Amino acid sequence: MLHMPTEIAADATPRERRRRYHGSSHAGSDAGRDARAAAAAQLAMAASALRRRKLPLLICAIAIPLIAFVALKQVTPRYTAEGSVLYEPSQYAAQELQSILHEDPMTDAVMASQAEVVRSLSVASRLIDRYHLMDDPEFNWTLRPPSLLSRLGHGARGVLSALFDPVSPSLAAVFAPHVPKAPPSPEEVRHSVEQAVQQAIVVEALRQSHVMSVKFTSVDRQLAADAVNTVMELYITDQLAAKFQAVKSASQWLETRAQELRKEVQSTEDRIADYKARSGLFQGVQAGLDTEQISRMTTDLLAAKNDLAQAEARLDAARGKQGASAQASVAPNVVQFRVQMDTLNAQLQSLLSRLGPNHPDVVSLRNQIHDLERSLGSEIGRTVSAADAEVRADRARVASLESNLKLAQSQVDKNNQAMIPLNAMQRDADAARTLLQAVLTRVQQTAQQSAIEKPDARVISEALPPPEPSFPKMKILIPAAAAFGIAFGLLVVYLLEVADSTFRSGDDVRAVLGLPCFALVPAVRPKLLGRIRMEDYVVRKPLSPFSEQIRALRAGLWLDSVHPKIVAITAARPAEAKTTTAMALGRSSAMNGERVLVLDCDVRQPSFGRLMRAEHSRGIVDYLLGQANLEEIIRRDRLTAMDYIPAGTSKANSLGLFMSDAMTECLNRLRRDYDLVLLDAPPVFAMTDARIISRIADATLLCVRWRETPRSVVSRSLDLLDEADARVIGVSLTRVDPRAHVRSGHSDAEVYHPRYGGYYRE
């Protein structure tokens, strides 16, 4: 049924078999499996573990949510009301108020700052006064009664202190109850309540928006809603009051500044008037000559000089110092006389050319010319006198204008020097008047702003009493507890699987020990066993699953290539059902017609005499000591044809006896007379006899208790057998719980499936 791989040599030691088994299985899996097969195997193993450990999983999955439900029911529910406020600062602000009412750009930092303003300590203080929270134990810790845990701790410390006081006063002082502290002052209580209320206020600025969410948590749902609405109301009221206060402060400053500017303008005007009086300046330069008059005087001077030049030209022309054209323009009469003279001279020359000098016409013409010359001289004299008088008059006028102009320029220079300070004072006065006018304008604007000022925030959603508590959230926590219970149960299952170092199936035996698992011998339930003894069950119930697994064990021994006749049956430690297995295997084989003998080699704790009701019979020890022959110690089973040899009555060094030639001769005789000889050896860790018996046997069968014996113990026992050169051919798992093994999901659990119930008869 279950056997060792054929590629492992039959003469190999168990240690080599395990090593080769591991190597061949790993090589085969690496060569024959792909990722999907490995994943499927892992899932199958996980499912198998869950089936085996479903009870801890169910306990965790049910108990944790139940505990969470009971614990949450003991918690006082807390309610969180929520409202929202929109922060949108106004843009109107006078220039002089920018330093007071300046608004930062709308950034996350600005919104976070506003959120801190909303939940400020002053707001918490006013909430306390409005809703009398100093008298509320939820916020005032001094009004809360001591908790049960603190009272129990105080009492326990008192009891421990009283117990240790007689023994060690210093240790008693360590466990002594704490001395009550002095009650806090009203100011400290007030501060603690303010901090508790402030912690109950939660303000969050929603990202990428101007909206702030305001929350308040309390055991009273109505108080939570009222507190949120009050916080938003106080925030808006404080904001508007701050603006009014800023406008009021600005107005007072502007009015004070206006008064200062009025005084400054008045003082400047007084200084200007006083300076004008001292400098002789009234209405500019009206006392002397101003710039316009100097300009006119300069124009008159230029005109006088021009007139003087013209008069001098006429005088020169009159005196004949210029050409005829100039003289004609200056003295027309003189020119006329001279034209007449030129005409007469021309006529005279013409007459002289035709007539003689004494010709009456010539003489008459000469007389006319002399008369005309006398008239011309008189006219020239008058003209020169008039021109000379005109020149003198023009010169006097030019001199007078030049004198007046110099005097006027001197006066203007003096006035200009005096105007420099006056102009500076005038500019100061103008600047003061301009600033005063601007301040008066801002005063009016500030008064208008005070009339139209509005808060920078407004409520967009008022808080309502919450219908459900915010803590504990049963709809969330209970499913979360259930999920945690399942996760914790899975963790427990994993830890149990990791911590379980026993053998749970034949697969574990093959994987860890590298040995075949011949049988899964079940534990018979007391209900089925009834009054039948366990060692008799294979005879009384030959068609039971127990008997079938014993036959499977015999088949595994027979299928071995060596076909061993002498088989040592041992275990790593006591209570592994090795004696029951040996007796059941012997009886089952005898019932199948084989000649079988079972030899009790556990001389320290013999059991055959008790089980077979031959406690005081001679046995193998007596034979080896030479006190009995072989025929005297062999006994027949009362139920089957099986023979057995008890341990015997004598007490001696069993190790030396089993190593003797007599033991070898005994086994040789038994090998000839019987088809199968079973040696019931003691546990490997209990006595050295087990290694000697396994060494002299043809093969050794190791009994391992299902889900009880640790793997390390079994591995160490195999090492001891390997050191003794014992040939361990297989393992038998004993005391298997069929029901639990069926639920485990292991591949060899199929043998106990209810579908095979028709093959068995209990």
Per-residue pLDDT of 418-431, as tens digits, reads 778 878 888 888 88
State the pLDDT confidence band at 669, using cuts at 50, 70 and 90: very high
Report the range of poorest mean pLDDT among 286-295, 357-366, 504-513: 286-295
- Report d(CA 565, CA 542) in Å as an integer: 23
- Report d(CA 329, CA 22) in Å as an integer: 153
Question: Rounded mean pLDDT of 678-704?
Answer: 94
Please give the backbone phi and psi of residue 17, each rounded to the nearest 5 degrees, phi first: -60, -45
- Number of Cβ within a 10 Å radius of residue 662: 15
Asked if pLDDT for residue 25 goes beyond 50, the answer is: no
Residue 381: its pLDDT value, please? 79
Q: Which of 96-100, 134-138, 314-318, 700-704 has the highest mean pLDDT?
A: 700-704
- Do 666 and 622 lie in a common domain? yes
- Report d(CA 584, CA 236) in Å as an integer: 94
As given in the structure block, the two tokens for residue 343 are 């005409």
Asked if pLDDT for residue 91 goes beyond 70, the answer is: no
Asked if pLDDT for residue 326 goes beyond 70, the answer is: no
- Do 485 and 634 lie in a common domain? no
- Report d(CA 722, CA 708) in Å as an integer: 23
As given in the structure block, the two tokens for residue 520 are 């899964």
State the pLDDT confidence band at 34, using cuts at 50, 70 and 90: low
- Do 555 and 637 lie in a common domain? yes
- Report d(CA 425, CA 210) in Å as an integer: 53
Residue pair 535/495 in contact (Cβ under 8 Å)? The answer is no
Q: How many domains does the chain have?
A: 2
Residue 208: its pLDDT value, please? 85
When computed from its CA atoms, the radius of gyration of the chain, rounded to whole angstroms, is 70
State the pLDDT confidence band at 699, using cuts at 50, 70 and 90: very high
Top pLDDT among 335 and 310 is at: 310
Question: Rounded mean pLDDT of 316-329?
Answer: 56
Residue 388: its pLDDT value, please? 82
Domain assignment of residue 431, yes or no: no
Task: Give me the residue label for tokens 């149960």.
Answer: 489
Question: Which residues make Cβ contacts (< 8 Å) with residue 384, sequence separation at least 6?
Answer: 315, 318, 319
CATH of the domain at 713: 3.40.50.300
CB-count exposure of residue 404 (10 Å: 0-12, 13-18, 19+):
middle
User: Which ranges of 356-473 does DSSP label H, i.e. alpha helix?
Assistant: 360-452
Residue 624: its pLDDT value, please? 92
Top pLDDT among 727 and 290 is at: 727
Residue 328: its pLDDT value, please? 45
- Do 490 and 504 lie in a common domain? no
Asked if pLDDT for residue 320 goes beyond 80, the answer is: no
- Do 713 and 603 lie in a common domain? yes
- Report d(CA 667, CA 665) in Å as an integer: 5
Residue 105: its pLDDT value, please? 62
Among 496, 529, 554, the domain boundary falls at: 496
Residue 176: its pLDDT value, please? 74
- Report d(CA 571, CA 579) in Å as an integer: 10
Q: How does DSSP assign 621-646, residue by residue?
A: HHHHTTSS-HHHH-EE-SSSS-EEE-
Asked if pLDDT for residue 22 goes beyond 60, the answer is: no
Percentage of residues in the chain having pLDDT higher than 90 = 40
As given in the structure block, the two tokens for residue 598 are 């079972």
Report the range of poorest mean pLDDT among 473-477, 643-647, 672-676: 473-477
- Do 477 and 600 lie in a common domain? no
Residue 38: its pLDDT value, please? 74
Residue 9: its pLDDT value, please? 45
The dihedral built from the CA positions of residue 408, 410, 411 and 417, taken in this order, carries a sign that is: positive
- Do 507 and 532 lie in a common domain? yes
Residue 251: its pLDDT value, please? 84
Question: Rounded mean pLDDT of 272-288?
Answer: 64
Percentage of residues in the chain having pLDDT higher than 70 = 88
Question: Which residues make Cβ contacts (< 8 Å) with residue 712, sequence separation at least 6?
Answer: 501
Q: Which domain holds residue 541?
A: 500-757
Task: Give me the residue label for tokens 């190593």.
Answer: 659
Asked if pLDDT for residue 467 goes beyond 70, the answer is: yes
- Report d(CA 244, CA 101) in Å as an integer: 11
Among 460, 481, 496, the domain boundary falls at: 496
The dihedral built from the CA positions of residue 389, 394, 397 and 398, taken in this order, carries a sign that is: negative
Asked if pLDDT for residue 706 goes beyond 70, the answer is: yes
Dihedral Cα 150, 156, 162, 166, nearest 10 deg: -130
Domain assignment of residue 349, yes or no: no
Residue 96: its pLDDT value, please? 45
Q: At what angle do helices 506-513 and 14-32 cross, to 10 degrees?
A: 110
State the pLDDT confidence band at 728, using cuts at 50, 70 and 90: very high
* SS3 state of residue 135: helix
Residue of 620, 627, 572 whose CA lies nearest to 600: 620
- Report d(CA 487, CA 728) in Å as an integer: 43
Top pLDDT among 10 and 331 is at: 331
Residue 548: its pLDDT value, please? 94
Domain assignment of residue 739, yes or no: yes
Which amino acid type is present at position 680? D
Asked if pLDDT for residue 512 goes beyond 60, the answer is: yes
Asked if pLDDT for residue 331 goes beyond 80, the answer is: no
- Report d(CA 599, CA 187) in Å as an integer: 93
State the pLDDT confidence band at 513, using cuts at 50, 70 and 90: very high
Domain assignment of residue 398, yes or no: no
Using alpha carbons only, what angle is made at residue 185 by residues 176 and 76, rounded to the nearest 5 degrees? 70
- Do 480 and 539 lie in a common domain? no
Question: Rounded mean pLDDT of 22-41?
Answer: 60
Question: Rounded mean pLDDT of 486-511?
Answer: 90
- Do 724 and 659 lie in a common domain? yes
- Do 525 and 478 lie in a common domain? no
Domain assignment of residue 352, yes or no: no
As given in the structure block, the two tokens for residue 327 are 């003289």
Q: How does DSSP assign 215-232, residue by residue?
A: EEEES-HHHHHHHHHHHH
Residue 353: its pLDDT value, please? 78
Residue pair 101/240 in contact (Cβ under 8 Å)? The answer is no
Residue 94: its pLDDT value, please? 47
State the pLDDT confidence band at 452, using cuts at 50, 70 and 90: low
- Do 594 and 481 lie in a common domain? no
DSSP 571: E
Q: At what angle do helices 35-52 and 474-499 cross, to 10 degrees?
A: 100
At CB < 8 A and 24+ separation, what contacts does 137-146 make? 138/218, 138/219, 138/220, 139/193, 139/196, 139/197, 139/200, 140/189, 140/192, 140/193, 140/196, 141/192, 141/196, 142/183, 142/184, 142/189
Residue 629: its pLDDT value, please? 93
Q: Which residues are registered as beta bridge partners of 571?
A: 703
Domain assignment of residue 633, yes or no: yes
Q: Which of 386-395, 444-453, 617-626 has the highest mean pLDDT?
A: 617-626
- Do 710 and 727 lie in a common domain? yes
Domain assignment of residue 697, yes or no: yes
Domain assignment of residue 685, yes or no: yes
Question: Rounded mean pLDDT of 580-599?
Answer: 96
Residue pair 79/466 in contact (Cβ under 8 Å)? The answer is yes
State the pLDDT confidence band at 27, using cuts at 50, 70 and 90: very low
Q: Which of 197-206, 294-303, 378-387, 397-406 has the highest mean pLDDT?
A: 197-206
At CB < 8 A and 24+ separation, what contacts does 253-259 make? 254/96, 254/439, 254/442, 254/443, 254/446, 255/443, 257/439, 258/436, 258/439, 258/440, 258/443
Asked if pLDDT for residue 284 goes beyond 50, the answer is: no
User: Average pLDDT of the chain?
Assistant: 83
At CB < 8 A and 24+ separation, what contacts does 241-249 make? 243/101, 243/453, 243/455, 243/456, 244/450, 244/453, 246/97, 246/100, 246/101, 247/97, 247/446, 247/449, 247/450, 247/453, 248/450, 249/100
Asked if pLDDT for residue 218 goes beyond 90, the answer is: yes
